[in-house]
Structure 1
Amino acid sequence: MLIFLAYIQIIFHICTVEAKRYIMHIDLDSFFVSVERKFNPELIGKPIIIGGNAQRGVVASCSYEARQYGVHSGMSSRDAFKLCPHAISVRGNHHLYSEASTEVTKIIDDMVPLYQKASVDEFYIDLTGTDRFFSPYKLASEVRQRIIRETQLPISFGLGSSKTIAKMATNKAKPNGQLFIPHGCEMQFLAPLPISAIPGLGESTAKKVYEYGIEKIGDLQRVDLRFLQTLFGKNGLWMYNKARGLDPAEIIPHAERKSISTEQTFSRTISDERRLESILVSMTEELSSKLRRENKLASCLAIKIRYANFETHTQQEKIALTAAEHILIPGVKNLLKKAWNNHRPVRLIGLRLSQLCTGSYQINLFEDNEEQIRLYQAMDKINFKFGDKTVCRAAGMEIGTRNFNPFMRG
């Protein structure tokens, strides 16, 4: 009995000892460019700019060859082609990018116990505990090699004790490389890097830190915590921990195929096409705004129509990844024409955006200019501060004032 109790105590001790964390961060190098090159090898080795052209648009992605001239994602295409006039302009193909992202996700899902899909081309993987059986670095390397082998896409990864260290190791390993930061070596790895390399450190905060002669993370490591808290409040502690590689953030398990939807039931049936379109436009604005707020993109839209006799019809279609209503609205109107029998009054109408993934809508407005993107940013900022529908399209005003509309109820 005593031997049994001693055995139980040993097991309990093993289970309660905090395991070393092994967090892997994966980033598909110049993802959009790499996918384009996979299907068009003539683009390999050449400066590529995806999104927009020399006259209008915004850079969604660019090759390393273009980056050497100062081109980067998010800048206007006009400025990008001034810096690199011989760059090749590629419109972009959301369908191909979505398929490639899904292919990579399936491989990761097949090989690791816990992962988080941070965006269409970025993943966090928790390998904590695997060191009891085999090398986490060896497993991480095998994941990378299988992705490269089966997708023909270049990929980099970083491995470390936290999400922050893993991501920064990936950035150091690019392009098409891998890097492991052993436990206890975090501060040594971070010290020579500029403070701008810290993920999440805003440009304005970085400028303020520079004013005190703090340029490298090593400089930040030597600053007293109380001094940082005096200057930056709670952000001071955040910077203090980041400079040491301390990051308790957990891996949030990946959930596939999420959706958002909304619908309206009418107290009296409606058979007016303009009114139904107006309602759908407002719904589209509402859902796309939520997508942008949550940094999500949708690749499928659907509408639902229910008639007075409760007969219900749905119509859906695949779309390019987006969160922009001016792209979604034409598709929604087209689905209405397909799904609705114009001679039958409608009792309920609904809209659903599905097959969501994480990603910024800004980089997906391939055919839009800077003014369009700034308009969305301004609208989202106002609506977030003062409430949804503070700013909206005139076509969607009817549902925006539904509290005063006798034909509608929640």
Structure 2
Amino acid sequence: MQNQQRYIAHFDLDSFFVSVEVLKDPSLKGKAVLVGGHSERGVVTACSYEARKFGVHSAMPMKKALKLCPHATVVGGSRGDYSKYSRIVTEIIAAKAPLFEKASIDEFYIDLTGMDKYFDPFKWTIDLRQEIIDKTGLPISFALASNKLVAKIATDEAKPNGYIQVAPGFEKQFLGQLKVNKIPGVGAHMYQTLLAMGIQTIQDISNYDVKELERKLGGYGLELWNKSQGIHTGQVSAYHEAKSISTENTFHENSADISFLLKELVRMTERVAYELRQDEKLAGCIAVKIRYSDFSTFNRQVAIDYTNRDDELIHIAKDLFTKLYKAGAPVRLLGVRLTELTNFAVQANLFDDIGKKNDLYKAIDDVKNKFGKTALKKARTV
């Protein structure tokens, strides 16, 4: 079984946020579109391929992007729609895939290892891609390869709205022709360092003396060399709703004091949101749990726009509590749980005020990390 041929597919929704905006407003199709904030501090969250031709890219200040591409249409973005379409695609994949990982709101890995006994993995992925396109209208690219690294790199080569297979044994040959900054993790600074070393392509790394790479780049040198060989052992982490961050509090004395219960609810929600941000995750579902003095227990949950922000989660948690709580009944235990977790992406910063919120939460988390989780609290919990 150790030598079993692996088949890993990587699916990536092309310019996901732009594509959703085009679905909502077909007149945007084929135009230079920028999704993001309009203000002086606004940032490009996503951009169409037509805008990229002018040098625009995500995370670029909107002011600079509009100088490069003055005719672009700026769209504020709508997180609710992005969350909705992400869920639809997730459900389509979950219904078909034997094992899949939701790497981010618009990116998926599927492990088809062993399934080649029953069907052609490449044809299966082509059919799945077509089903996603037919049911959502969204463009999506994929690559099928022997590991996650090669599949991810190959997907970028298949874009826009295409697909490719890197046959087993051809990983090194496929990678060799590509620029070294195609390797995930090779940022602008490392790219310049490698260019200064005479390394331009991935093949240049594979031909480089590995000991010399380690001497110049430390442990990262060996990691880069392995990647240049198409070697990667990362596993597809099974996606399931059981992944969660939660907290519960059993009170010393049962309480029907609404003010006290809401204060505890806010405190617990603030705590799980902090943990979510530390894990660099977003949550797509929140649940509130109440256990009464007679030990009867009730839960209520709701799907939400992907977030990790206290103010948004607290508002929803309080609303769930209000709908769930039996007036006057003494409560023994309260709990808050966040589920449907996915990796945080810069695309979550969709509006100017949210960008400012992120700065605020980063400052708050920095204080908590330095002085302890209880160093800052919401006024209501004090």
Q: TM-score, normalised by structure 1?
A: 0.81
1:284-338 deviation digits (Å, cap 9, x = unpaired): 2221122223333223323334455556565544421111113222333444455
Distance in 1 separating the partners of 2:220 and 2:108: 26
Asked if the contact 1:33/1:63 (under 8 Å) is kept, the reply is yes
Q: Flag the 1:71–1:24 CA change in 2: closer, same or farther, 3 A.
A: same
Contact 1:285 1:392 in 2 (8 A): no
Q: Which residue of 1 aligns with 2:245?
A: 260
Say if 2:12 and 2:140, in contact at 8 Å, map to a contact too. Answer: yes
Query: Counterparts of 1:232-247 in structure 2 under 5 Å?
Result: 232-247=217-232
Q: Is the 8 A contact 1:261 1:287 kept in 2?
A: yes
1:214 equivalent in structure 2: 199
Question: Does residue 1:330 correspond to 2:299, yes or no?
Answer: no
Please give the alpha-carbon distance, in whole angstroms, between the structure 2 residues aligned to 1:374 and 1:62.
Answer: 23
Give structure 1 stretches of 5+ with no counterpart: 1-15, 399-410
Which residue pairs with 2:376 in the alignment?
A: 392
In structure 2, C-alpha distance between the alignment counterparts of 1:25 and 1:256, rounded to whole Å:
21
Counterpart CA distance in 2 for 1:375 and 1:206 is: 32
| The one of 351, 355, 358 aligned to 2:342 | 358
Q: Secondary structure at the match of 1:349?
A: strand
Are the counterparts in 1 of residues 267 and 378 from structure 2 also a CA contact under 8 Å?
no
Unaligned runs of 5+ in 2: none
Provide the alpha-carbon RMSD of the alignment: 3.0
Measured after TM superposition, the shift of residue 54 of structure 1 is 4.0
2:36: which partner in 1? 51
Distance 1:210 1:383 in 2: 40
Selected match of 1:69 from 50, 54, 62 = 54
Q: Indicate if the aligned counterparts of 2:349 and 2:355 stay in contact, CA closer than 8 A.
A: no
Change (3 A) 1:233 1:248: same
Show the counterpart of 2:6. Answer: 21
TM-aligned CA distance change 1:357 to 1:81, over 3 Å: farther
> C-alpha distance in 1, partners of 2:115/2:301?
43
Question: How far did 1:371 drift?
Answer: 3.9
SS in 1 for 2:173: helix
Which runs of structure 2 are paired with 1:173-184 in the superposition (5 Å)?
173-184=158-169
Select the residue among 140, 143, 164 that pairs with 1:155. Answer: 140
Q: 1:115 aligns with which of 89, 96, 100?
A: 100
2:150 corresponds to: 165
Change (3 A) 1:131 1:273: closer
Query: What do residues 48-86 of structure 1 show as CA deviations (whole Å, max 9, x unaligned)?
Result: 222322445443322222222333223344443444343
Equivalent pair of 2:140/2:161 in contact (CA under 8 Å):
yes
**Change beyond 3 A, Cα 1:292–1:171:** same
> Does 1:93 pair with 2:78?
yes
Q: Distance in 2 between matches of 1:296 and 1:208?
A: 31
What is the aligned-residue identity percentage?
44
- CA displacement at 1:179 relative to structure 2: 1.5
Partner of 1:190: 175
Verify the 8 A CA contact 1:58 1:369 in the aligned structure 2: no
**Distance of 2:345 and 2:364 partners within structure 1:** 14
Larger radius of gyration: 1
What is the Cα deviation at residue 144 of structure 1? 1.7
| Whole-angstrom CA distance in 1 between matches of 2:137 and 2:214 | 47
Superposed, which structure 2 residues align to 1:226-375 within 5 Å? 226-256=211-241, 258-270=243-255, 275-308=260-293, 314-340=299-325, 346-354=331-339, 356-360=340-344, 362-367=346-351, 368=353, 370-375=355-360
Q: Which amino acid aligns with 1:358?
A: T
Matches of 1:272 and 1:55, distance apart in 2: 46
Amino acid at match of 1:97: Y
| Conservation of the 8 A alpha-carbon contact between 1:225 and 1:237 | yes
Q: Does 1:146 align with 2:165?
A: no
Using a 3 Å threshold, how does the CA distance of structure 1 residues 274 and 52 change in structure 2: closer, same or farther? farther
Secondary structure, counterpart of 1:71 in structure 2: coil
**Distance of aligned partners of 1:146 and 1:302 in 2 relative to their CA distance in 1, 3 Å threshold:** closer
Aligned equivalents of 1:123, 1:71: Cα separation in 2: 25
Counterparts of 1:17 and 1:359 in 2: how far apart (Å)?
30
Q: 1:22 to 1:345 in 2, by over 3 A?
A: closer
Structure 1 residues 131-140 or 35-44, which shifts more?
A: 131-140
Q: Is the 8 A contact 1:119 1:357 kept in 2?
A: no
Q: Equivalents in 2 of 1:390, 1:81: separation in Å?
A: 43
Q: What is the count of residue pairs matched by the alignment?
A: 381
Q: Match for 2:289: what amino acid?
A: K
1:143 Cα deviation after fit: 2.0
8 Å contact from structure 2 (residues 78, 350) kept in 1 = no
Does 230-239 or 271-280 show the bigger shift? Answer: 271-280
With 128-137 and 172-181 compared, the bigger mean Cα shift is at 128-137
State the distance in 2 between where 1:82 and 1:281 align.
Answer: 44
Asked whether the 8 Å contact 1:120–1:357 carries over to 2, the reply is no
Is the 8 Å Cα contact of residues 59 and 75 (structure 1) preserved in structure 2?
yes
User: Aligned partners of 1:290, 1:270: CA distance in 2, in Å?
Assistant: 27
Change in CA separation of 1:275 and 1:57 when aligned onto 2, cut-off 3 Å? farther
Q: Is the Cα–Cα contact under 8 Å of residues 291 and 298 in structure 2 kept in the other structure? A: yes
